[in-house]
């Protein structure tokens, strides 16, 4: 136990040094339980349009999850989040982690289009890895949770790839997601979303109407990077619209700890992995 806490302390230091990115140290400590791993598969043109697949061994018709990482829509890479994919694969979930273009190369339409394209790739190729394309989930942390929410709630992004959230998604998991954050005092954030006709068109909370895929929203109560009200407000809107939604607030957990808790040395911080995997298992049936 003492060794586990020592590793966790190292991971937390790694988090502090890497700003919004989970520490790479967790990749070394988190087992994929022998998953088949294929990296740098192109789903589009360019270096930021590749993805990694973590497929559990000897599975058939397993649920498939696309995980979108955070980084303020300005940075991040799939390599850093192997620990998330490994953890989910060890739970029997075929897990895909795509890179996507970020600002200033693109504004918000660019990374949402990339994400939708990665989801279409997953639906088309899930069976090759033992996944069932009819059991498709989106999972995201921070800026990645925004992406997952927009794809699940605003029909137009998946529609461009001949998909529909209602038809093609079994659900989405938003971890510490920003769903209602404009106007912003951050000039870069403002510019990323400046290409929307109105601020409201870029905010997931404004698409929480009608029947939407089931949602699980996870947030730490001490998150000062993305305030918990983002999740509580989206949950209220979805519930009022008659869409199935669960929300779990983890006491004393912050913005980085909640995703770091996917890694085996830090699972004492929050049940992020167990709650995510349970939701996916239940909604797959």
Neighbouring CB atoms inside 10 A of 105's CB total 11
239: left (phi over 0), alpha (psi -120 to 50) or beta: alpha
Domains of the chain: 2-283 (3.40.50.1820)
Place of tokens 């059991």: 135
Q: Which of 102, 99, 176 is nearest to 145 (CA)?
A: 176
Those residues whose C-beta lies under 8 Å from the C-beta of residue 75, and which sit 6 or more positions away, are 20, 21, 102
Q: What is the pLDDT along the chain (285 residues), one digit of tens a residue?
A: 334 434 444 445 444 434 434 466 899 999 999 999 999 999 999 999 999 999 999 999 999 999 999 999 999 999 999 999 999 999 999 999 999 999 999 999 999 999 999 999 999 999 999 999 999 999 999 999 999 999 999 999 999 999 999 999 999 999 999 999 999 999 999 999 999 999 999 999 999 988 899 999 999 999 999 999 999 999 999 999 999 999 999 999 999 999 999 999 999 999 999 999 999 999 999
Distance of CA 174 to the CA centre of its chain: 6
- Compute the distance between CA of residue 78 and CA of residue 85 in angstroms, rounded to an integer: 9
């Amino acid at each position: 136990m003492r060794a586990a806490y020592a590793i966790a302390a190292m991971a937390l230091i790694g988090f502090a040094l890497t700003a919004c990115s989970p520490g790479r140290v967790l990749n070394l400590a988190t087992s994929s339980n022998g998953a088949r791993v294929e990296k740098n598969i192109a789903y589009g043109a360019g270096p930021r349009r590749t993805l990694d697949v973590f497929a559990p061994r000897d599975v058939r018709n397993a649920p498939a999850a696309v995980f979108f990482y955070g980084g303020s829509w300005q940075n991040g890479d799939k390599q850093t989040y192997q620990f998330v994919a490994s953890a989910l694969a060890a739970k029997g979930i075929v897990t895909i982690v795509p890179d996507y273009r970020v600002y200033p190369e693109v504004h918000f339409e660019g990374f949402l289009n990339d994400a939708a394209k990665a989801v279409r790739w997953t639906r088309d190729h899930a069976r090759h890895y033992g996944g069932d394309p009819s059991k498709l989930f989106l999972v995201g942390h921070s800026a990645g949770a925004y992406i997952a929410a927009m794809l699940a709630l605003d029909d137009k992004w998946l529609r461009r790839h001949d998909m529909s959230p209602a038809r093609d998604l079994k659900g989405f998991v938003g971890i510490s997601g920003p769903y209602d954050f404009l106007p912003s005092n951050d000039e870069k954030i403002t510019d990323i979303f400046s290409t929307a006709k109105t601020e409201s068109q870029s905010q997931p909370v404004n698409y929480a109407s009608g029947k939407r895929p089931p949602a699980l929203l996870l947030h730490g109560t001490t998150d000062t990077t993305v305030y918990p009200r983002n999740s509580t407000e989206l949950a209220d809107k979805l519930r009022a619209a008659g869409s199935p939604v669960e929300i779990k607030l983890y006491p004393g957990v912050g913005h980085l700890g909640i995703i770091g808790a996917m890694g085996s040395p830090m699972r004492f911080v929050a049940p992020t992995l167990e709650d995510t995997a349970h939701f996916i298992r239940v909604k797959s049936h």
